[in-house]
Protein backbone atom coordinates (compact mmCIF):
# COMPACT_ATOMS: atom_id res chain seq x y z
CA UNK A 1 0.00 0.00 0.00
CA UNK A 2 1.43 3.38 -0.96
CA UNK A 3 1.52 6.33 1.39
CA UNK A 4 -1.13 8.17 -0.63
CA UNK A 5 -3.44 5.18 -0.35
CA UNK A 6 -2.93 5.02 3.40
CA UNK A 7 -3.81 8.67 3.73
CA UNK A 8 -7.00 8.27 1.71
CA UNK A 9 -8.03 5.14 3.63
CA UNK A 10 -7.65 6.81 7.02
CA UNK A 11 -9.70 9.80 5.86
CA UNK A 12 -12.43 7.60 4.41
CA UNK A 13 -12.72 5.59 7.64
CA UNK A 14 -12.84 8.71 9.82
CA UNK A 15 -15.38 10.38 7.53
CA UNK A 16 -17.57 7.28 7.54
CA UNK A 17 -17.63 7.25 11.34
CA UNK A 18 -19.00 10.79 11.35
CA UNK A 19 -21.65 10.04 8.75
CA UNK A 20 -22.76 6.90 10.64
CA UNK A 21 -22.79 8.90 13.86
CA UNK A 22 -25.60 10.99 12.38
CA UNK A 23 -27.36 8.34 10.34
CA UNK A 24 -27.50 5.42 12.83
CA UNK A 25 -29.74 7.06 15.47
CA UNK A 26 -32.13 8.32 12.78
CA UNK A 27 -32.35 4.90 11.12
CA UNK A 28 -32.43 3.23 14.52
CA UNK A 29 -35.54 5.03 15.69
CA UNK A 30 -37.17 4.30 12.34
CA UNK A 31 -36.45 0.57 12.60
CA UNK A 32 -37.60 0.43 16.21
CA UNK A 33 -40.95 2.04 15.38
CA UNK A 34 -43.65 -0.27 13.98
CA UNK A 35 -45.41 1.19 10.95
CA UNK A 36 -48.77 0.61 12.61
CA UNK A 37 -48.01 2.84 15.58
CA UNK A 38 -46.58 5.46 13.25
CA UNK A 39 -49.86 5.60 11.32
CA UNK A 40 -51.80 5.69 14.56
CA UNK A 41 -49.69 8.60 15.76
CA UNK A 42 -50.19 10.43 12.50
CA UNK A 43 -53.93 10.33 13.20
CA UNK A 44 -53.57 11.64 16.73
CA UNK A 45 -55.10 15.13 16.73
CA UNK A 46 -52.85 16.28 19.56
CA UNK A 47 -49.82 15.31 17.49
CA UNK A 48 -51.14 16.92 14.31
CA UNK A 49 -51.98 20.21 15.97
CA UNK A 50 -48.62 20.36 17.71
CA UNK A 51 -46.78 19.78 14.43
CA UNK A 52 -48.87 22.44 12.72
CA UNK A 53 -48.21 24.86 15.57
CA UNK A 54 -44.49 24.16 15.34
CA UNK A 55 -44.22 24.74 11.61
CA UNK A 56 -46.36 27.85 11.56
CA UNK A 57 -44.61 29.42 14.55
CA UNK A 58 -41.26 28.71 12.89
CA UNK A 59 -42.53 30.33 9.70
CA UNK A 60 -43.69 33.45 11.59
CA UNK A 61 -40.32 33.71 13.33
CA UNK A 62 -38.57 33.43 9.96
CA UNK A 63 -40.79 36.04 8.31
CA UNK A 64 -40.06 38.40 11.19
CA UNK A 65 -36.32 37.81 10.73
CA UNK A 66 -36.48 38.29 6.96
CA UNK A 67 -38.28 41.62 7.29
CA UNK A 68 -36.20 43.09 10.09
CA UNK A 69 -32.96 41.15 9.65
CA UNK A 70 -32.39 41.86 5.95
CA UNK A 71 -31.56 45.56 6.34
CA UNK A 72 -29.25 44.69 9.24
CA UNK A 73 -27.50 42.02 7.18
CA UNK A 74 -27.03 44.47 4.30
CA UNK A 75 -25.67 47.12 6.63
CA UNK A 76 -23.22 44.68 8.18
CA UNK A 77 -22.07 43.48 4.76
CA UNK A 78 -21.67 46.92 3.19
CA UNK A 79 -20.70 49.51 5.73
CA UNK A 80 -17.98 49.75 8.28
CA UNK A 81 -19.05 51.71 11.30
CA UNK A 82 -17.88 51.89 14.88
CA UNK A 83 -19.01 48.87 16.91
CA UNK A 84 -19.75 46.82 13.82
CA UNK A 85 -17.83 43.85 15.18
CA UNK A 86 -19.67 44.16 18.45
CA UNK A 87 -23.00 44.11 16.62
CA UNK A 88 -21.86 41.02 14.70
CA UNK A 89 -20.93 39.27 17.95
CA UNK A 90 -24.28 40.20 19.50
CA UNK A 91 -26.08 38.57 16.56
CA UNK A 92 -24.06 35.40 17.13
CA UNK A 93 -24.83 35.26 20.87
CA UNK A 94 -27.97 33.06 20.66
CA UNK A 95 -25.81 30.30 19.18
CA UNK A 96 -23.63 30.05 22.28
CA UNK A 97 -26.17 30.71 25.03
CA UNK A 98 -27.70 27.51 26.49
CA UNK A 99 -31.25 27.59 25.24
CA UNK A 100 -32.84 26.99 28.62
CA UNK A 101 -30.94 30.06 29.84
CA UNK A 102 -32.21 31.96 26.81
CA UNK A 103 -35.73 30.91 27.81
CA UNK A 104 -35.19 32.25 31.34
CA UNK A 105 -33.86 35.51 29.89
CA UNK A 106 -36.84 35.88 27.57
CA UNK A 107 -39.25 35.10 30.39
CA UNK A 108 -37.54 37.73 32.53
CA UNK A 109 -38.09 40.55 30.02
CA UNK A 110 -41.35 39.34 28.44
CA UNK A 111 -43.13 37.80 31.44
CA UNK A 112 -46.35 39.34 32.75
CA UNK A 113 -44.59 41.12 35.60
CA UNK A 114 -41.89 42.70 33.44
CA UNK A 115 -42.17 46.21 32.00
CA UNK A 116 -42.11 45.07 28.38
CA UNK A 117 -44.42 42.11 29.02
CA UNK A 118 -46.86 44.35 30.85
CA UNK A 119 -46.84 46.97 28.08
CA UNK A 120 -47.59 44.35 25.44
CA UNK A 121 -50.30 42.75 27.59
CA UNK A 122 -52.11 46.09 27.62
CA UNK A 123 -52.21 45.77 23.81
CA UNK A 124 -53.52 42.24 24.20
CA UNK A 125 -50.25 40.54 23.30
CA UNK A 126 -49.03 37.89 25.74
CA UNK A 127 -45.78 36.00 25.47
CA UNK A 128 -46.16 33.35 28.14
CA UNK A 129 -48.10 30.25 27.22
CA UNK A 130 -49.00 31.54 23.73
CA UNK A 131 -48.01 30.87 20.14
CA UNK A 132 -46.53 34.39 20.01
CA UNK A 133 -44.22 33.39 22.85
CA UNK A 134 -43.26 30.25 20.94
CA UNK A 135 -42.44 32.20 17.79
CA UNK A 136 -40.46 34.71 19.85
CA UNK A 137 -38.37 31.97 21.45
CA UNK A 138 -37.80 30.36 18.03
CA UNK A 139 -36.77 33.70 16.52
CA UNK A 140 -34.38 34.41 19.38
CA UNK A 141 -32.43 31.17 19.05
CA UNK A 142 -32.44 30.92 15.24
CA UNK A 143 -32.01 34.48 14.00
CA UNK A 144 -28.19 34.24 13.61
CA UNK A 145 -28.70 31.63 10.89
CA UNK A 146 -30.65 34.03 8.72
CA UNK A 147 -28.71 37.22 9.39
CA UNK A 148 -25.33 35.58 8.82
CA UNK A 149 -26.41 33.88 5.58
CA UNK A 150 -27.96 37.10 4.29
CA UNK A 151 -24.85 39.06 5.25
CA UNK A 152 -22.70 36.60 3.32
CA UNK A 153 -25.09 36.88 0.38
CA UNK A 154 -24.90 40.66 0.26
CA UNK A 155 -21.12 40.58 0.66
CA UNK A 156 -20.92 38.30 -2.38
CA UNK A 157 -22.55 40.94 -4.61
CA UNK A 158 -19.83 42.98 -6.27
CA UNK A 159 -20.00 46.57 -5.03
CA UNK A 160 -19.12 47.83 -8.47
CA UNK A 161 -22.45 46.55 -9.77
CA UNK A 162 -24.20 48.84 -7.30
CA UNK A 163 -21.87 51.72 -8.11
CA UNK A 164 -22.54 51.28 -11.82
CA UNK A 165 -26.28 51.34 -11.13
CA UNK A 166 -25.85 54.62 -9.21
CA UNK A 167 -24.08 56.22 -12.16
CA UNK A 168 -26.93 55.05 -14.38
CA UNK A 169 -29.25 57.10 -12.21
CA UNK A 170 -30.69 54.39 -9.96
CA UNK A 171 -31.44 55.44 -6.39
CA UNK A 172 -30.14 53.37 -3.52
CA UNK A 173 -33.45 51.67 -2.94
CA UNK A 174 -33.96 51.03 -6.65
CA UNK A 175 -30.49 49.50 -6.83
CA UNK A 176 -31.15 47.42 -3.73
CA UNK A 177 -34.44 45.99 -4.97
CA UNK A 178 -33.62 45.48 -8.64
CA UNK A 179 -30.00 44.43 -8.34
CA UNK A 180 -28.61 43.57 -4.91
CA UNK A 181 -31.59 41.68 -3.57
CA UNK A 182 -32.10 39.46 -6.65
CA UNK A 183 -28.38 38.67 -6.72
CA UNK A 184 -28.26 37.77 -3.03
CA UNK A 185 -31.60 35.93 -3.15
CA UNK A 186 -30.24 32.40 -3.04
CA UNK A 187 -28.26 33.12 0.10
CA UNK A 188 -31.30 34.76 1.67
CA UNK A 189 -33.57 31.83 0.85
CA UNK A 190 -31.15 29.22 2.10
CA UNK A 191 -30.56 31.30 5.25
CA UNK A 192 -34.31 31.47 5.80
CA UNK A 193 -34.62 27.69 5.39
CA UNK A 194 -31.81 27.10 7.86
CA UNK A 195 -33.41 29.48 10.30
CA UNK A 196 -36.81 27.87 9.96
CA UNK A 197 -35.27 24.41 10.41
CA UNK A 198 -33.42 25.56 13.51
CA UNK A 199 -36.53 27.27 14.85
CA UNK A 200 -38.85 24.26 14.56
CA UNK A 201 -36.33 22.03 16.35
CA UNK A 202 -36.15 24.34 19.37
CA UNK A 203 -37.08 22.93 22.76
CA UNK A 204 -35.21 24.59 25.64
CA UNK A 205 -36.24 28.20 25.25
CA UNK A 206 -39.83 27.33 24.27
CA UNK A 207 -40.48 24.99 27.15
CA UNK A 208 -39.72 27.78 29.61
CA UNK A 209 -41.67 30.53 27.85
CA UNK A 210 -44.61 28.40 26.67
CA UNK A 211 -45.04 24.79 27.79
CA UNK A 212 -48.55 25.08 26.41
CA UNK A 213 -49.68 25.20 23.61
CA UNK A 214 -47.42 22.27 22.96
CA UNK A 215 -44.98 22.37 20.07
CA UNK A 216 -43.79 19.03 18.69
CA UNK A 217 -40.46 18.88 20.57
CA UNK A 218 -42.26 19.61 23.85
CA UNK A 219 -44.88 16.98 23.04
CA UNK A 220 -42.18 14.36 22.53
CA UNK A 221 -40.62 15.31 25.84
CA UNK A 222 -43.94 15.21 27.64
CA UNK A 223 -44.86 11.78 26.30
CA UNK A 224 -41.43 10.49 27.25
CA UNK A 225 -41.72 11.90 30.78
CA UNK A 226 -45.25 10.67 31.33
CA UNK A 227 -45.37 7.38 29.41
CA UNK A 228 -41.82 6.32 28.61
CA UNK A 229 -39.60 5.64 25.64
CA UNK A 230 -41.83 3.28 23.66
CA UNK A 231 -44.77 5.69 23.78
CA UNK A 232 -42.75 8.76 22.80
CA UNK A 233 -40.90 7.02 19.98
CA UNK A 234 -43.58 7.12 17.23
CA UNK A 235 -44.13 10.86 17.78
CA UNK A 236 -40.38 11.49 17.65
CA UNK A 237 -40.01 9.42 14.48
CA UNK A 238 -42.96 11.15 12.81
CA UNK A 239 -41.50 14.57 13.57
CA UNK A 240 -38.10 13.54 12.30
CA UNK A 241 -39.66 12.24 9.09
CA UNK A 242 -41.72 15.36 8.45
CA UNK A 243 -38.76 17.64 9.17
CA UNK A 244 -36.56 15.63 6.83
CA UNK A 245 -39.11 15.76 4.03
CA UNK A 246 -39.77 19.48 4.46
CA UNK A 247 -36.09 20.36 4.69
CA UNK A 248 -35.04 18.23 1.73
CA UNK A 249 -37.87 19.55 -0.44
CA UNK A 250 -36.99 23.18 0.28
CA UNK A 251 -33.31 22.51 -0.32
CA UNK A 252 -34.10 20.75 -3.55
CA UNK A 253 -36.28 23.59 -4.81
CA UNK A 254 -33.66 26.27 -4.11
CA UNK A 255 -30.81 24.16 -5.42
CA UNK A 256 -32.63 23.55 -8.69
CA UNK A 257 -33.48 27.20 -9.09
CA UNK A 258 -29.84 28.11 -8.70
CA UNK A 259 -28.76 25.87 -11.60
Partner 1 sequence: MIELNNATKMLGGFTLGPLNLSIQRGSYSVVLGPSGAGKTLLMEVIAGLTGLDSGTIRINGKDALEVPPQGRSIGFCYQDYALFPNMNVFENIAFGLKVKKDRNIQLKVEKIAHLLGIEDLLQRGVKDLSGGEKQRVALARALVIEPDILLLDEPLSALDKAYASQLIKEIKHIHRTRPELTIVHITHDFEEALSLADKVLVMNQGKILQAGEPREVFTRPKNPFVASFVGLKNIYKGRITRHDGTPVFETEELRFMVTTDFDGEAYATIAAHDIIVTLEPSDTSARNSFEGIVKDMEEKGMLVELAINIGIELMVIVTKESASRMGLHEGKRCRVLIKATAIHVFKA
Residues that bind partner 1 (CB under 8 A): 158, 160-161, 163-171, 174, 179, 182-183
- Distance in Å, CB of 191 to partner 1, minimum: 18
Between 118 and 258, name the residue whose CB sits nearer to partner 1: 258
Minimum distance, C-beta of residue 177 to partner 1, in the bound complex (Å): 12
At closest approach, how far in Å is the CB of 39 from partner 1? 46
Shortest Cβ 185–partner 1 spacing (Å) = 9
Of 37 and 186, the one with the shorter C-beta distance to partner 1 is: 186
Of residues 89 and 171, the one with the C-beta less far from partner 1: 171
> Minimum CB separation from partner 1 for residue 155, in Å?
16
Region of 90 please: left (phi>0), alpha (psi -120 to 50) or beta: alpha
- Between 12 and 161, name the residue whose CB sits nearer to partner 1: 161
List Cβ neighbours of 246 (8 Å cut-off, separation of 6 or more): 55
Distance CA(164)–CA(256), nearest Å, equals 30
Given the complex with partner 1, which of 124 and 169 has the nearer CB atom?
169
Residues near 154 by Cβ (< 8 Å), separated by ≥ 6? 73, 74, 77, 78, 180, 184, 187
Q: Shortest gap between Cβ of 174 and partner 1 (angstroms)?
A: 6
Q: How far is the CB of 190 from partner 1 (least distance, A)?
A: 17
Q: Which is nearer to partner 1, 104 or 181 (CB)?
A: 181
Residue with Cβ nearer partner 1 (113 or 167): 167
Amino acid sequence: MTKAHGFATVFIIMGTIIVLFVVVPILGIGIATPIRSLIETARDTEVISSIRLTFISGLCATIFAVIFGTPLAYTLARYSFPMREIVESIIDLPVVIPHSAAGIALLTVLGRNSAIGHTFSVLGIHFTGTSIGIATAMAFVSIPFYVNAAKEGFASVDRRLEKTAYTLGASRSRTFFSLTLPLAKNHLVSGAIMMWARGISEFGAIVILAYHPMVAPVLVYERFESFGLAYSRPVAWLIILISLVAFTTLRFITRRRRD
